[in-house]
């Protein structure tokens, strides 16, 4: 992730949020769903 973001060795990634479609067998616990229009923006 650091390489992808171009961060230096002393920088830290503190949170990664996965966004995508729900998988049939991918649920590990309760989920909080946000409408995709609020989190995905085309740039």
- pLDDT digits 0-9 by tens, 18-40: 777 777 776 676 777 778 888 77
Q: Which two tokens stand for residue 31?
A: 């989920």
Q: Which residue has the higher pLDDT, 3 or 29?
A: 3
Q: Look at residue 35 in the predicted model and tell me its pLDDT.
A: 83
Q: pTM (2 decimals)?
A: 0.38
Q: In this structure, what token pair is assigned to residue 37?
A: 């229009």
pLDDT at 4: 87
Cα 17 to the center of its chain, rounded Å: 3
Helix, strand, coil percentages for the chain (3-state, nearest 5): 20, 0, 80
The answer to whether the beta carbons of residues 39 and 19 sit under 8 Å apart is yes
Which pLDDT belongs to residue 8?
Answer: 93
Q: Can you list the alpha helix ranges (DSSP code H) found in 1-43? A: 2-5, 36-39
- Is the model's pLDDT at 11 over the cut of 70? yes
């Amino acid at each position: 992730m650091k390489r992808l973001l171009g961060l230096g060795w002393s920088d830290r990634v503190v949170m990664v949020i996965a966004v995508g479609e729900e998988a049939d067998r991918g649920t590990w616990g309760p989920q909080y769903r946000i409408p995709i229009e609020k989190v995905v923006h085309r740039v």
